[in-house]
């Protein structure tokens, strides 16, 4: 397919609008409403050398950028997007791997983290060495959590006082990580992750049976994101 993946530079600034449109369209389809980005913001990330872009000839086909929080203690790889025509070919995996390496290079002392409902992203993160965590392990930076305000599920985050939501939180501490290259190790990490999610579903179910408040939450989460079923089928 002749796709090149690399750190975006000033020659890619002209794609800022298109990248925003791709992200917004994907967000509308997923129905989360969380992902609106402004072209100036994407442009700033490109100018700061904090973005990875995938190009086919003169067309942008994928993108992701770095954000840092709490004085660079935490780093998130955000705005991951792959053009619909190029999905399920391993492109997101390659982009995430490139932005992971760039993040470690630029912020060697930071923990990498993310919150997501995307099974593909959970899978890729697991392979990179991310572990699922409760939200208490993530950044406390209010600016990060402000980004959730446009999400349709934001009321759940508020009700649970930022302790949980429909997204799964994942963290990777590169300083305690041997680079995971072997397929067999990656598969093991994914198996561990699937076990965690099944157990979490069971824990939520048990709590929901015991509490009317959580019962409401559980019903919301299981109707919006039947993640256990998704994972069973993957």
Ligand X SMILES: CC(C)(COP(=O)(O)OP(=O)(O)OC[C@H]1O[C@@H](n2cnc3c(N)ncnc32)[C@H](O)[C@@H]1OP(=O)(O)O)[C@@H](O)C(=O)NCCC(=O)NCCS
Residue 116 binds ligand X (CB under 6 A): yes
Closest CA relative to residue 51, chosen from 121, 103, 92, 11: 103
Give yes or no for a contact between 138 and 113, defined as CB atoms under 8 angstroms apart. yes
Residue 183 binds ligand X (CB under 6 A): no
Q: For residues 90-109, which are near ligand X according to CB under 6 A?
A: 90-93
* CB 3, min distance to ligand X, A: 11
Give yes or no for a contact between 204 and 156, defined as CB atoms under 8 angstroms apart. no
Q: How far apart are CA 12 and CA 127, in angstroms?
A: 29
Q: Nearer to ligand X by C-beta: 99 or 124?
A: 124
Residue 89 binds ligand X (CB under 6 A): yes
Q: Give the SS3 label for residue 207.
A: helix
Residue 76 binds ligand X (CB under 6 A): no
Q: How many alpha carbons fall within 13 Å on the CB side of residue 34?
A: 20
* CB 119, min distance to ligand X, A: 4
Total number of residues binding ligand X (CB under 6 A)? 20
* Contacting positions for ligand X (CB under 6 A): 26, 30, 80-82, 87-93, 116, 118-121, 123-124, 234
């Amino acid at each position: 397919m002749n796709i090149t993946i690399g750190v975006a530079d000033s020659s890619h600034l002209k794609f800022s609008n298109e990248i925003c449109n791709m992200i917004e369209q994907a967000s509308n389809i997923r129905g989360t409403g969380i992902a609106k980005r402004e072209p100036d913001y994407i442009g700033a990330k490109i100018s700061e050398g904090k973005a990875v872009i995938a190009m086919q000839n003169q067309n942008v086909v994928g993108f992701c950028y770095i954000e840092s929080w709490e004085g660079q203690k935490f780093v998130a790889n955000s705005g991951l997007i792959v053009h619909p025509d190029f999905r399920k070919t391993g492109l997101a995996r390659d982009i995430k791997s490139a932005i992971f390496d760039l993040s470690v290079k630029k912020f060697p002392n930071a923990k990498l983290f993310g919150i997501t409902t995307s099974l593909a992203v959970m899978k890729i993160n697991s392979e990179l060495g991310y572990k699922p965590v409760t939200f208490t392990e993530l950044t406390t930076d209010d600016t990060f959590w402000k980004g959730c305000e446009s999400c349709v599920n934001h009321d759940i985050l508020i009700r649970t006082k930022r302790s949980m939501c429909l997204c799964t939180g994942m963290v990777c501490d590169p300083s305690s990580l041997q680079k995971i290259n072997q397929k067999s190790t990656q598969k093991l990490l994914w198996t561990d992750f699937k076990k965690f999610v099944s157990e979490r579903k069971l824990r939520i179910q048990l709590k929901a049976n015991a509490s009317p408040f959580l019962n409401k939450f559980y019903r919301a989460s299981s109707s919006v994101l039947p993640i256990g079923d998704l994972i069973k089928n993957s």
